[in-house]
Amino acid sequence: MYTLALGQLNVEGQKVDIFLNTDELPPVLIGNRQQHIMTRCQSISGVFKAPTLLNNNLADVLQCLSAEVNYALLIMSSMYIAVFQDRHRRYGYFDPHSRQPDGLPSGFGSGTAVVFIFTHLSDLITKLVTLFRAVGSGPNASFELTPVQFQTVDELSGGENLPHVESNADVVPVAGQQELHMSSLPRAESEVTSPIKSNCITMPNLSKSNKQERIKLKRRVLKGEKKVAVDKNAKQRERYAKDKSYQQCKKSWIVDQYRQDPEFKQRRRSYYNRYCADNVEIKQRQRSYHKKCYQSDVEFKQRQRSYVKNGYQSDAEFKQRQRLYIKTVTKVMQSSNRDKCPTLTADTQMI
């Protein structure tokens, strides 16, 4: 069904994003010589690992797949995933993002979309919890589950079918958590995305949140990616403060990048000029650090001398600054020496 929707939007020239967003889903899908009408139902809001008595948590909400819901769209941490129960009462999910064969995140462009099918609902829930933890979702990450229904309206002639749309999704039927078997997408689509031929299109109200709370929660869901990045940075700072080996590796990496990558060097300089140039404490720490390195590190001392020599010979502005600096230091030293010398008395002068 995802492939049909994607192909239909591409043919109509309405597709604007890499992935298919829920707002882009057309109300009517045409494919497999049939016309399918999609009906959205009441959304269910909650928190990833919330206590059961306070909010809906993800594991409890997904239990609705074993009862009233057959298809649903799950949104969490800026990710859109379709979950379903097929006609054979198996449970699964479709993830259009770049994934490894085991369903975990991969580098951009190095993975494919995946479909996982499970015999038991508990296995599906465990897999989704593992996936969202792998992408950095915290216990308080918000989610929204929107049940949908598809109703077959009529049968179309063969000439009215949409053009065939290729997909790069991998289908992984999972009998248990230990075995993974790969198969092709077309066969799985015929099993998974068969329309529901039910005349009832009403759904029970599964949400405990009013409309205003759902709007607020949806905004939080869309901002989830930024929150994940902030949490990740906080964890890295905490580890940097506690782990000396990690701190040393980070410093070595910055030094190597600064020497080898001109773009990285320019970014670091811009950052320093923007945040550190007017900070007296940071400047004092840097001077103390450079002084210590100059006294103890022969290689650093040689580099500094070469830098000053080359700058003095080739850069007129640097030469002027250096001369002014030397004059200032000389005056300070002379003044300090005069203060230390005793004043000559008349008797001392006669002698």
Q: What is the pLDDT of residue 45?
A: 82
The number of distinct structural domains making up the chain is: 1
More confident residue, 89 or 179: 89
Task: Print the domain residue range for 28.
Answer: 2-223
Q: Report CA-CA distances (Å) from 261 to 254, 257, 264.
A: 10, 5, 5
Query: Could you give the 3-state DSSP secondary structure of residue 40?
Result: strand
Q: What is the pLDDT of residue 153?
A: 65
pLDDT band at residue 229 using 50, 70 and 90 as cut-offs: low
Q: For the ranges 195-209, 214-228, 231-245, 307-321, which has the lowest average pLDDT?
A: 195-209
Q: What is the pLDDT of residue 195?
A: 40
The percentage of residues in the chain with a pLDDT greater than 70, rounded to a whole number, is 62
> How far is it, in rounded angstroms, from Cα 282 to Cα 266?
19
Tokens of residue 287, six digits: 């001077």
pLDDT at 270 over 80: yes
Has residue 241 been placed in a domain? no
> How far is it, in rounded angstroms, from Cα 173 to Cα 171?
6
Has residue 127 been placed in a domain? yes
More confident residue, 12 or 259: 259
- Strand-pair category, 112-118 with 170-174: parallel
Has residue 180 been placed in a domain? yes
Has residue 142 been placed in a domain? yes
What is the rounded average pLDDT for all residues in the chain? 72
pLDDT at 287 over 50: yes
Has residue 88 been placed in a domain? yes
pLDDT band at residue 58 using 50, 70 and 90 as cut-offs: confident
Q: Report CA-CA distances (Å) from 263 to 55, 129, 177, 250, 260.
A: 47, 39, 45, 18, 9
To the nearest 5 percent, what fractions of the chain are helix, strand and coil?
50, 20, 30
pLDDT band at residue 199 using 50, 70 and 90 as cut-offs: very low
Query: Is the pTM higher than 0.75?
Result: no
> How far is it, in rounded angstroms, from Cα 46 to Cα 208?
9
Q: What is the pLDDT of residue 8?
A: 61
Q: Please count the CA atoms within 13 angstroms of the CA of 26 that sit on its side-chain side.
A: 21
Q: Which residues pair with 174 in a beta bridge?
A: 118
Q: Output the DSSP codes for 124-146.
A: HHHHHHHHHHHTT--TT-EEEEE
- Our CA dihedral for 21, 26, 27, 33, rounded to 10 degrees, sits at -120
Has residue 303 been placed in a domain? no
Mean pLDDT of 74-86: 83
Has residue 99 been placed in a domain? yes
pLDDT at 186 over 80: no
Q: What is the pLDDT of residue 197?
A: 39
Nearest C-alpha neighbor of 38 from the set 201, 169, 182 = 201
- Our CA dihedral for 295, 300, 305, 311, rounded to 10 degrees, sits at -130
Tokens of residue 224, six digits: 């989830």
Q: Return the CATH number at 192.
A: 3.90.70
Has residue 190 been placed in a domain? yes
Q: What is the pLDDT of residue 269?
A: 84
Over the stretch 96-127, which tens digit does the pLDDT of each residue have? Answer: 888 888 888 876 667 788 889 999 888 998 99
Give phi and psi for 156, each to the nearest 5: -100, 165
pLDDT band at residue 152 using 50, 70 and 90 as cut-offs: confident
Query: Could you give the 3-state DSSP secondary structure of residue 204?
Result: coil
| Length in residues, the chain | 351
pLDDT band at residue 50 using 50, 70 and 90 as cut-offs: low
